Structure 1
Amino acid sequence: MSAYMAQELARPAARARYRVPAAWLMAPLLLALGAIVFYPIILIVVRAVAPGGHPDWALWADTLSAPGLLAAVRNTVILAATTTVIGVPVGVFFAWLIERTDARWGSLSRLLPVIPLLLPPVAMAIGWLFLADPRAGFLARPLIEAMQAAGIAVEADRVAIQSWAGLIFLYALWAVPHVYVIAAAAFSGLDPSLEEAARMCGKGRLRCFAQVSLPAIRHAVGSSVLVCVISSIGLYSIAALIGSAARIEVLSVYIYRLLNFSYPPKTSQAVIIGLLLMVVIASIWLLQRRIAARTGHAQIGGMGVRPNLLALGGWRWPARLAVLLYVLLTSVLPLLALIVVALQPFWRSRIVLADLAFDNFAEFGASSAARDAIWNSTMLAICAATAAVLAAGLIAVVARHAGGRREQALGIVTKVPAAIPHIVFAVGVLVAFGFAPLRLGGTWLILLLAYVAIYLPTASIASEASVQQVGNQLTEASRIFGASPTRTFRAVQLPLILPGLAAGWASIFALVLGELNAAAILSGPRNPVIGYLILTLFDNGTYSQLAAIGSIIGIVSAIAVSAVLLLGRPRFARSATA
């Protein structure tokens, strides 16, 4: 201990040099993020809430007393709570099974739980609509007919996907992979000595998971809860497609209607609701940070760690079947339904093999607008995911080193866009950058700016979970031995947080690829993206074309996400995938 203290006292200059480069690097980054994130928010709030230079309290009263708002709030709270209660335990448990037990199947097992990321939520919702619609669903219609033939009276609405049960089912299926990628990144670098010691003391498999492994990744669990709550509140596609048909309106759909189904658009009311959501989400984030600070952080063992997989014995194959069943429900069945409908001339429950053809794909490929939409969305997804993850990762590392209130302030800066519904934020981006003097409206760049800002919170949550999991001991040891900040980050921190960054990149890529809300405001014939194309096809009722684009999205996303998750594995895992 005395030697350690002597080295610390002998290196005050090194500690000072560690902080200065970070400050120089952070200043332009924070200025750029401030321009992208805060300028649109401030501009639209000033123009909409206080158009005459002073607050319009009557507008607030009208907004909060509007019919339907209370029901939308109640439905949103129910969906966010049930999604979190179901999605977080299932996602964390799957991550533990694959990263810490012998239920894995090499590299394939790491890809199975994230396969649902390959389908945007709108594609999964459309696939399940094709499966479980009581009138023409591939599963629901034969089930109803079989039960009626057996003399069992059944109401079609009882098995319809357009219901509370169907909505919660789809929300939970959608949430699990987002939880998994965060928890798996934490489990992959966890020091296995903790679990080995617990096993030697006689703890069973489930007790080892609940009392040792799970508390060791508490930061990742807290981040997963935050992701579920924020994403559930802002999710539009599933709620619009399934919830609206079941007459279950949530806040995202309510805000969309204010902006698109009112004349003139009620932008002021939408902004007020967005501001209230910002306060709620910021409060949840601060609560999560306070709980995490009280519980400390777990220790990652470093690059030399080799996990000793827990033997599940007779539970090995049931665990594998549970993962396969989840993949079947979230990806295989919806994707098969999309492909079948894409091959049909029109959607119907009866499949006639002679009618199946690639005409919809050929028509889709012959459209220059469709090709431009796929290319634009793919490039935007790559650029937005990379920019958001790099910015969030750097901020998380510097914030962790700064600590205290500065860490909280930087965390709040990166979470602000999550509190603004995407469609409201897109309006702010259009007002801020779409007209004079920049005139970026209808361009590729305005979509990129919006996507980076919108998905910065997702990248920040994944980055913070990875950085907090590492702790400060390794970076302090590197500084004591004279390593520069750049070398410390490159040789010590980056290899350990890379799985979390890769997980965040994969999530953002899949989300941007099928993004609908911002595309509805910022995209058009001059800068088409997949979200704009999906909205057009859905409004026109061309389900076969809609199924074709859903299939194409799955293929593009599968290649990119699989490659990133494999390359982003810890180095030791690449040599121990058997």
Structure 2
Amino acid sequence: MRLGLTEAPLPLLYTDAAMYLGMVHAYLPFAVLPLTATLLRRDLSVEEAAADLGASPWVVFRTVTLPLSAPGAAAAFLLVFIPAAGEFVIPGLLGPPDALLVGRVLWAEFFQNRDWPLAAALAVALLALLILPIRLFQRLEEGGLEGGFAPFAGSGAAPRDIGVRRLGLIGGLAFLWLPILLLVGYAFSADRIPFQWGGFSLRWFRALAANERMLEAAWLSLRIAAGAATLAVLLGGMTGWVLARHGRFHGKALFGALAGAPLVLPEVVTGLSLLLLFVVLQGAAEAAFGWQLGRGAATVLLAHATLGLAYVAVVVQARLTGLDPALEEAAADLGAGPFTVFRTVTLPLIAPALVAGWLLAFTLSLDDVVVASFVSGPAGTTLPMLVFSQLRVGLTPEINALAAVILAVAGLLLGLAAAILGRNGRGGARAG
């Protein structure tokens, strides 16, 4: 079933402003998480002491809270700058045709101009550029960031009341959720124009259920996500266990950096590097054994497992680091072998982290467009790839309905992961 594309004008789209707002909307949570973690770990007594000495709330914030949150601010900058430097999905949908971002140029050189050496050179140059802020962050951490915000010291007017902060919170939540809620709302519109209300209807959900091409892509995406998440848990769980329990060994820092590299590399660089690897392996297998290994669902699964491995390793390592090793040592003292200790003590303790890591890797695979676009073949078109290709042509109400379904599934998975991690934390507290 083919739906008509909207012909309504979109004057606010395809501009630099729309592209920048879209990227801010997409990457704002990446900045909130490290800032929140840093602020939760700060010593509140320092701020209370400054307030007791007569400093106003605004002066306390600028002279005490802001310097204490500097590591989180630096981490937030990196978590936004690094993926945004290679972003091409949002610029491709919202930006003007002449917007020359690195990610779009790399994509064009590889897929349109077929200039693989130039695309690889651009990827290496992008990596070299990203090393600079990472190294700067490491230097700031080593130096303790003392005095990093000294120019901001001074007097200032205090906020009038707590209503100002509530207003800021409401504004931030509205910026994040209003576009999503509008999209979900228009999914129930009977009008053929995607952003025009024509009365409540489930028309586009029924059309979505009858779209065989989307259903096939969705089923393929679910299978790839499940397989990639399972493989990521197996490899990432072992990686996290080695980093947390194996003690010091030669090359541990390099091993940890390589395991966590997919967390910080731009997706276009990761996708290009994996594609080149698969091409080399394909040529080697054909030369050595005569195998014709084409790219498809299997290569997408392996690529997504590589991404998910890093996230699972972080979750498992954090869980094991927070556990008291006395339980494992007690089991070993009672005569249990290393495998028995792992199977009867360690594995049950990290099981919630493994489940949460599986859900996280599953969600990441289900959402990925960039890496899958590089490593897939004709038989490996996933649902996000299909949606992205259709959005580049035009927006349909059926896409709104699909987005509502994906949002519901992602919310369910993330809620389940949050519940498991919450139980994980309470169990760790009881064990401690």
Q: TM-score, normalised by structure 1?
A: 0.54
Give the structure 2 partner of residue 282 of structure 1. 131
1:529 equivalenced with 2:382 (yes/no) = yes
What residue in structure 1 maps to residue 279 of structure 2?
431
1:132-179 deviation per Cα after TM superposition (whole angstroms, max 9, x unaligned): x9x645xxxxxxxxxxxxxxxxxx5xxx23322222222112111122
Aligned residue in 1 for 2:151: none
Shift in CA distance, 375/440, structure 1 to aligned 2, threshold 3 Å: farther
Q: Say if 2:166 is the partner of 1:320.
A: yes
Q: Distance in 2 between matches of 1:462 and 1:292?
A: 22
In structure 1, the residue matched to 2:22 is 170
- 1: distance between equivalents of 2:301 and 2:67? 38
Once the two structures are superposed, the pairs formed by residues 228-247 of structure 1 within 5 Å of their partners are: 228-245=80-97, 247=98
Residues of 1 paired with 2:124 and 2:145: CA distance? 32
CA gap of 1:460–1:277, structure 2 versus 1, over 3 A, is farther
Residue deviations 1:470-519 (CA, integer Å, cap 9, x gap): 9x9x99x978x9778989xx99xx99xx7xx97x9887655433221222
Corresponding residue number in structure 2 for 1:258: 109
Distance (whole Å) between structure 2 residues aligned to residue 391 and residue 217 of structure 1: 33
Q: Once the 2 structures are TM-superposed, how far is the Cα of residue 367 of structure 1 from its aligned partner?
A: 3.5
2:203 paired with 1:359? yes
Q: Which residue number in structure 1 is paired with residue 100 of structure 2?
A: 249
Query: In the aligned structure 1, how far is the partner of 2:132 from the partner of 2:245?
Result: 23
Aligned: 1:347 with 2:176: no
Q: Deviations over 1:354-390 (max 9, x none)?
A: xx53333222223344234334434545665654864
In 2, the alpha carbon distance for the partners of 1:200 and 1:508 equals: 47
Tell me the alpha carbon deviations over residues 190-227 of structure 1, each in whole angstroms, 9 at most, x when there is no partner. 56555555555555545555555555555444332221
The amino acid of 1:431's aligned partner reads V
Q: Distance in 2 between matches of 1:195 and 1:337?
A: 42
User: Which AA in structure 1 matches 2:265?
Assistant: A
- CA deviation profile, 1:112-142 (whole Å, cap 9, x unmatched): xxxxxxxxxxxxxxxxxx9xx9x645xxxxx
Higher relative contact order (CA 8 A, sep 6+): 1
Partner of 1:554, secondary structure, is: helix
Residues 187 and 463 (structure 1 numbering): CA distance in 2 closer, same or farther, change over 3 Å?
farther
Give the alignment of 1:37-186 within 5 angstroms: 136=9, 160-186=12-38
Distance 2:55 2:240 in 1: 37
Task: Answer whether contact 2:359 2:414 (CA < 8 A) is retained.
Answer: yes
Shift of 1:296: 8.8
Name the counterpart of 1:294: 143
Match of 2:412 in 1: 559
Aligned 8 A contact 2:372 2:385 in 1? yes
Seen in structure 2, the aligned counterparts of structure 1 residues 209 and 406 have a Cα distance that, compared at 3 Å, is farther
Q: Is the 8 A contact 1:415 1:460 kept in 2?
A: no
Counting only pairs closer than 5 Å after superposition, residues 483-502 of structure 1 correspond to structure 2 as none
Letter in 1 for 2:90: I
Amino acid in structure 1 at the alignment position of 2:95: G
Between the aligned residues of both structures, percent identity stands at 16
Aligned residues: 387
Residue 452 in 1 paired to residue 302 in 2? Answer: no
Residue 461 of structure 1 and its aligned partner are, at CA, apart by 8.2
> Could you tell me whether the CA contact under 8 Å between 1:219 and 1:292 is conserved in 2?
yes
The alpha carbon displacement at 1:533 in A equals 1.7
Establish whether residue 268 from structure 1 lines up as the match of residue 120 from structure 2.
Answer: no
Distance in 2, matches of 1:180 and 1:506, equals 21
Aligned with 1:421: secondary structure?
helix
Question: How far did residue 431 of structure 1 move?
Answer: 1.3
Q: Which runs of 5 or more structure 2 residues have no equivalent in the other structure?
A: 1-5, 147-157, 333-337
- State the 1:352 CA deviation: 2.6
The residue that corresponds to 1:336 in the other structure is: 182
- Supply the RMSD in Å over aligned alpha carbons: 4.7
CA distance in 2, matches of 1:548, 1:434: 39
In the TM superposition, what are the counterparts of 1:185-200 in structure 2 within 5 Å?
185-188=37-40
Amino acid in the other structure paired with 1:516: V
Deviations 1:307-328 (A, max 9, x none): xxxxx99744443343333232
Q: 2:3 matched to which residue of 1?
A: none
Gap regions ≥5 residues in structure 1: 1-129, 138-155, 298-311
Q: CA deviation at 1:405?
A: 7.7
Q: Give 3-state SS (helix, strand or coil) of 1:568's partner.
A: helix
SS at match of 2:265: helix
Instruction: Name the amino acid aligned to 1:325.
Output: G
Looking at structure 1, the residues matched to 239 and 23 of structure 2 have their Cα atoms a distance apart, in angstroms, of 26
